[in-house]
Amino acid sequence: MRTALVIGGGPAGLMAADVLAEAGIRVILCEAKPSIGRKLLMAGKSGLNLTKDEAFDPFMRQYTGASEALRPMIAAFDAGAVQDWARGLGQPVFTGSSGRVFPAAMKASPLLRAWLARLDRLGVHRRVRWRWRGWDGAEAVFETPSGRQTLAADATVLALGGASWARLGSDGAWAETLRGAGCDLARFAPANAALSVKWSHHMRPHFGAALKTVGWRAGNLTSRGEAAISARGLEGGGLYALTPALRQSEALFVDLIPDQPAEKALARLAQKPSKLRLGHWLKNTLRLPEAKTALFFEMTAGALPERAAWVKTIKTLPINYAGLRPMDEAISTAGGVRFAALTPGLMLKARPGVFCAGEMLDWEAPTGGYLLTACLATGRWAGLSAADYLAAAA
């Protein structure tokens, strides 16, 4: 019986193991951490946004430069398929108002438990605390509690994750090993990252407050999502969508009244007495929540706008930020194994018989379910390609 090795117990690796075992192949799944799916469980803490209920083309546009490479994989396992798969594991799903799809349980543990039980039934052998260290000739080398171990396999799927939240397992250390094996990798960079802002003490009472109904702009990217003020800066989906521009240190602007056109705000202001104070206008005319007003004054401190520029300033308030938060804090990472280093079946050109999947591939997307969908779809694609490879070699 042919043996496949799947290394990395995140959603991409579990999906690869699933389809390989389903194809009748003996599967050994090795994970460096003491348990499987730690990042998936962490994603569950915010409800586990599995996918987005959205038409296929706009869905694919979210993968920007990698959308063409990912297209066949996600077409074969799209947002509808992700929902069917979750239901198949006994997890009903629901779609929120923004189209985001979540399991009804709003966490990952029941889904992960059901998935592992399914893999057990399919006969997948699991080894935890097995850290892959590269190859010795044809054999994969692992660091294990009982010392160095090697495993021979007829095909291998690597699903080692990106390079953030290292404590959950995805430390990106595999990149050096693959580079050494002749694979072309793009440098890791934070994606879906929070911003560092050096706040004055005036902002302290607003730490934890949400900025809702705002419009963000950086470079040629825009977003209408929320963000929260934290002690370290600003975080949240509204800003994560702009990470590619913020990585290039593009100027960031926020529109604090995005639903009010500038002309309308100007007309309303023109009706107000000339002695109207800025703070009064923000609070009583525009009825800005306290956190928005505080942000306005924080960012204009030292140079309060003249009345003629109030509307322009509130609609394009520059956010003085001190860069992105460190990569390890990012929800996901850009960079990794370049598609040019892979066959259309996600096999490493430099190492036939070795396939790659999940966040370790060079793609990025905003939050909204796009990350897990691509991890599941590429895990499935790599697993099926490995099964085809084994069948062809038989």
Ligand X SMILES: Cc1cc2nc3c(=O)[nH]c(=O)nc-3n(C[C@H](O)[C@H](O)[C@H](O)COP(=O)(O)OP(=O)(O)OC[C@H]3O[C@@H](n4cnc5c(N)ncnc54)[C@H](O)[C@@H]3O)c2cc1C
Residues that bind ligand X (CB under 6 A): 7-13, 30-33, 38-40, 42-43, 46, 48-49, 131-132, 159-161, 165, 169-170, 174, 331-332, 358-359, 369, 371-372, 375
Query: Residue holding tokens 């004055």?
Result: 200
Which residue in the block uniquely carries the two structure tokens 């607003």?
A: 206
Q: Residues with Cβ < 8 Å from 368, sequence gap 6 or more?
A: 49, 52, 62, 98, 100, 237
Which of 32, 65, 2, 39 is CA-nearest to residue 362?
Answer: 65
The CA distance from 39 to 331, in Å, is: 10
* Min dist. Cβ of residue 8 to ligand X (A): 3
* Cα dihedral 201/222/378/351 (nearest 10): -80
- Measured CA to CA, the distance from residue 235 to residue 325 in angstroms comes to 9
- Looking at beta carbons only, is 49 or 230 nearer to ligand X? 49
In the bound state with ligand X, the residue whose beta carbon lies nearer, of 158 and 295, is 158
Report the distance separating Cα 283 and Cα 372, nearest Å: 41
Give the nearer residue to ligand X in terms of CB position, either 43 or 319: 43
Give least dist CB 350 to ligand X, A. 18
> Rounded to an integer, what is the distance from CA 20 to the centroid of its chain?
25
Place of tokens 């934070």: 190
Q: How far is the CB of 34 from ligand X (least distance, A)?
A: 10
Shortest distance, position 245 Cβ to ligand X, whole Å? 20
- How many helices (DSSP H) and strands (DSSP E) are in the chain? 14, 21
Closer CB to ligand X, 162 or 215, in the complex: 162
Least separation, in Å, of the C-beta of 364 and ligand X?
10
Residue type, 117: A
Find tokens 């390079």 and name the residue. Answer: 163
CA distance 132 to 150: 9
Smallest separation (angstroms) from ligand X to the CB of 105: 13
Q: How far is the CB of 51 from ligand X (least distance, A)?
A: 8
Q: Which of 257, 253, 247, 154 is nearest to 194 (CA)?
A: 247
